[in-house]
Amino acid sequence: MGLTIAQKIIKDHLLGGTMKAGEEIALRIDQTLTQDATGTMAYLEFETMGIDRVRTERSVAYIDHNTLQSGFENADDHRFIQSIAKKHGIYFSRPGNGICHQVHLERFGIPGKTLIGSDSHTPTGGGIGMLAFGAGGLDVAVAMGGGAYYITMPKMMKVNLTGKLRDFVTAKDVSLEILRILSVKGGVGYIIEWGGEGIKSLSVPERATITNMGTELGATTSIFPSDEITKAFLEAEGRGEAWKPLASDPDAEYDRIIEIDLSTLEPLIACPHSPDNVVKVSSLKGTKVDQVCIGSCTNSSLYDMLKVAAILKGKTISPDVSLSISPGSKQVLSMLADCGALSDILASGARVLECACGPCIGMGFSPNSAGVSLRTFNRNFEGRSGTADGKVYLVSPETAAAAALTGEITDPTLLGESPKVEMPAAFKIDDSAVIAPASPEEAKDLEILRGPNIKKFPEAKPQEDTLSAELVLKVGDNITTDHIMPAGAKILPYRSNIPYLSQFCFGVCDKSFPERAKAAGESIIIGGSNYGQGSSREHAALVPLYLGVRAVITKSFARIHIANLINAGIMPLTFENPEDYEKIDQGDRLTIKDIYAGMESGKMLLLDETKGQQIPLTCAFTDRQKAILKAGSLLAYTKKGE
Ligand code: MIC
Ligand code: SF4
């Protein structure tokens, strides 16, 4: 039987397990990336492993999330990351150099290689044929140390594209269309391969927009073939030698195939508060818009920015709209400046922000009360923008620019002729903002610079055979990591300070949760389906651990979050009968006995002492995961194995 692209790369990197969907496999990781919001924790974890130098082919530490520096905290963390990178063989991308995924695609990504990053949008690298996964910081730390990355072997999905996008219909609309079809849960357990005749008209940045947003489907990752278009992109980046062709075999088999005819698509928009709440832009015509934000790792390439500049050129934005533009990288910003497009953007009345995540993660530019914000980003979860009642819609750069001009939701196809943008034959290459690590010799004497904001992370608690605890919180379906551990300008600077962060845990759902959890000592959380979707932040596991949470019981989990829970030593369990979710109430006293035997059989019994009822639970831990839970955490388990 032939192989898919992903199966070929997995086969080349397989360190353990068999390539059978549903089984645990161990992968060799060629490259890692971190960003600063998850990076400090990842490097603290790396340090405890006592390894002198990273064992990957390339590891890069980016500073792109926490760039506000409204106090000493972020600046201290940046210095910590910079010093640890220099000492341990990691390249350091300075603040201002750009968003990790955009810069990695431009300067470091290589078709056919494996990449894990402590950020859920690491699959952006799939746009050039990398097998790239988002992971928790601890998994990235282990990979930097040369350890394997463990995942469940995914099923394979193929999306066949035919036809060609019409004017003003974009790769972002393709992402929104697949979200409309599959929902935020529809990609769980799959790697999505994009193919068909239609991909020949998609440039690398457009492909990267699509693989980036595969994360919102819950997919393990997404990937495009590496073809002549990939080659041209790498050559334009001065990295032609990194190219190699990659395609699936003609007789490769897929568990699911979806057909999309690009020529039938229309501009689409995801309504608050979920990326799969998708309708046609034309159906919301006339809705008043307060704010427009263009940028993020989804839509901040030179290609996107040039189109926006062309639409804005010679025009002034609506007086009622505040428009922000954040180019994805220094390369993008500098090329926009050189060709004059930046002046067109500025002349329109836009506010140009630095090359960073910015408004996407609530670092400034929060909308006004109940404000309507159109964003070219990938997530519109409740409260994420920093304004609790803000209404965030996700759109393409074209739809965003149209709304900025008219002040209302506007179908961009009504703008007249669509601007034609060619990818340049050569990008402007300047890697001066990437600082190389010290030589092993020099590294010996280097000191790691630590600030007072770095606090100890919570201690591992080995899983005992019986758990008796209060159900301190019951939440519904599709709880995101932004609900569990919010980010934003007020909280993000404290990513290396778990005790401080803990005051905000689940703040979006229930402000009294932290206090109740602390008072309860040990506790249990119950959730609906797709619990923990969204970010890779391991803080969404470490903070509940700090507050005493010992188990989370749900209808189903999102992939990265369940791995983070196990790595932190919190037991993830699922209802055997999803309808049992209804039978338990917050405040009930719950007991689970014979946990060790249950880990083996895959079945446990939950005794609800308050209601005198028994509820069957399931689990599917691999031997490695059982050992991690019994040791109390992946770190404790890794140390034991030394
Ligand atoms: C996000 O988009 O939510 C983030 C911020 O990039 C996160 C990482 C984090 O929480 O630091 C992600 O997607 O993994
Ligand atoms: Fe940054 Fe937003 Fe991308 Fe996350 S989704 S990496 S916050 S730009």
Structure tokens at 32: 């890692």
SS (H, E, C) 170-228: CHHHHHHHHHHHHCCCCCECEEEEEECHHHHHCCHHHHHHHHHHHHHHCECEEECCECH
Token pair for 428: 């402007």
pLDDT tier at 641 (50, 70, 90 boundaries)? low
| Protein residue with least CA distance to atom 4, ligand 1 | 535
CA distance 293 to 579: 41
Q: Please, which residues bridge with residue 257 across strands?
A: 158
* Atom of ligand 2 minimally distant from the CA of 101: 6
CA of 536 to the centre of ligand 1 (A): 6
Atom of ligand 1 nearest to the CA of 134: 14
Percent over 70 (pLDDT), the chain: 100
Distance, CA 377 to ligand 2 centroid (Å)?
8
Ligand nearest to the CA of 37: 1
Among all ligands shown, which has an atom nearest to the Cα of 39? Answer: 1
HEC secondary structure over 342-363: HHHHHHCCCEECCCCCHHHHCC
What spacing in Å lies between the alpha carbon of 520 and ligand 2's midpoint?
35
Q: Which amino acid, residue 67?
A: T
Task: Look at residue 274 in the predicted model and tell me its pLDDT.
Answer: 98
Nearest ligand to residue 104 Cα:
2
For residue 56, the cross-strand partners are none
pLDDT in tens, 487-536: 999 999 999 999 999 999 999 899 999 999 999 999 999 999 999 999 99
CA of 391 to the centre of ligand 1 (A): 20
User: Looking at ligand 1, which atom is closest to the CA of residue 361?
Assistant: 5
Give the closest ligand to the alpha carbon of residue 212.
2
* Distance from Cα 428 to the centre of ligand 2, integer Å: 24
Which residues lie closer than 8 Å to 490 by C-beta, 6 or more apart?
none
Residue nearest to atom 1 of ligand 2 (CA): 357
Q: Whose alpha carbon is nearest atom 1 of ligand 1? A: 535
For a ligand 2 pocket test, name from 101, 122, 357 the mutation site with the most ligand atoms within 8 angstroms of its C-beta: 357
pLDDT digits (tens, 9 = 90+) for 166-219: 999 999 999 999 999 999 999 999 999 999 999 999 999 999 999 999 999 999
Distance 368 CA to ligand 1 centre (A): 23
Q: What is the 105 CA–ligand 1 centroid distance (Å)?
A: 18
Across 566-591, average pLDDT: 98
Phi, psi (deg, nearest 5) at residue 346: -65, -40
**Is residue 417 predicted with pLDDT exceeding 90?**
no
Whether 481 has a pLDDT exceeding 70, the answer reads: yes
Domains and CATH numbers, the chain: 5-264 (3.30.499.10), 268-415 (3.30.499.10), 467-639 (3.20.19.10)
| Site of tokens 């979050």 | 561
Give the model's confidence band at 422: pLDDT under 50 very low, under 70 low, under 90 confident, else very high. confident
- How far away, in angstroms, is 357 Cα from ligand 1 center? 10
599 vs 622: CA distance, rounded Å: 9
Token pair for 30: 């060629």
Q: How far is the CA of 193 from the centre of ligand 1 (A)?
A: 23
Average pLDDT over residues 67-71: 91
Q: Is the pLDDT of residue 447 over 90?
A: yes
What are the pocket residues of ligand 1 if the criterion is a CB atom closer than 6 Å to any ligand atom? Answer: 37-38, 65, 119-121, 134, 361, 487, 534-537
Ligand closest to the CA atom of residue 64: 2
Question: From the CA of 37, how far away is ligand 1's center (Å)?
Answer: 8
What is the CA(83)–ligand 2 centre distance, in A?
24
pTM greater than the 0.75 cutoff: yes
pLDDT greater than 90 at residue 458: no
* Ligand 1 center to 578 CA (angstroms): 29
Contact present, 81 and 74 (Cβ < 8 Å):
no
Distances (CA, A) of 185 to 178, 274, 290, 433: 12, 11, 30, 38
What residues does ligand 2 touch, defined as CB less than 6 Å away?
Answer: 65, 99, 119, 121, 296-297, 357, 360-361, 377-378
Pocket probe mutation, ligand 2, options 63, 66, 119, max atoms within 8 Å of Cβ: 119
Phi–psi pair at 205, nearest 5 degrees:
-60, -35
Closest ligand 2 atom to residue 361 Cα is 7
642 pLDDT tier (thresholds 50, 70, 90): low
Q: What is the pLDDT of residues 605-632, one digit of tens each?
A: 999 999 999 999 999 999 999 999 999 9
| Mean pLDDT (whole number) for 60-86 | 96
Residue from 361, 483, 543 whose mutation best tests the ligand 1 pocket (most atoms within 8 A of CB): 361
Going by pLDDT thresholds of 50, 70 and 90, the confidence category of residue 100 is: very high
The pLDDT, as a whole number, for residue 638 is 85
Mutate-to-test residue for ligand 2 from 297, 325, 485, highest number of ligand atoms within 8 A of CB:
297
Residue-wise pLDDT tens digits, 223-281? 999 999 999 999 999 999 999 999 999 999 999 999 999 999 999 999 999 999 999 99
Q: Tell me what pLDDT residue 163 has.
A: 98
Q: Note the pLDDT tens digit of each residue in 282-291.
A: 999 999 999 9
Residue nearest to atom 2 of ligand 2 (CA): 360
**CA 535 / ligand 1 centre spacing (Å):** 4
Residue of 33, 65, 379 with the most ligand 2 atoms within 8 Å of its CB, for mutation:
65
**8 Å CB contact between 156 and 191:** yes
DSSP β-bridge partners for residue 474? 526
Under DSSP, the state recorded for 591 is: E
Which atom of ligand 2 lies nearest, measured to the CA of 379? 5
How much is the average pLDDT of 14-35?
Answer: 98
Span from the CA of 297 to the centroid of ligand 2 (angstroms):
6
What digits encode the pLDDT tens for the residues 291-338? 999 999 999 999 999 999 999 999 999 999 999 999 999 999 999 999
Question: Which amino acid residue places its CA nearest to atom 9 of ligand 1?
Answer: 537
Residue 640: is its pLDDT beyond 80? no
State the Cα–Cα distance between residues 543 and 496, nearest whole angstrom. 11
Atom of ligand 1 nearest to the CA of 482: 3
Least confident piece of the model among 158-162, 387-391, 418-422, 503-507 = 418-422
pLDDT of 352-395, one tens digit each? 999 999 999 999 999 999 999 999 999 999 999 999 999 999 99
Q: Packing angle between helix 137-144 and helix 36-48, nearest 10 degrees?
A: 50
* Nearest residue (CA) to ligand 1, atom 12: 535
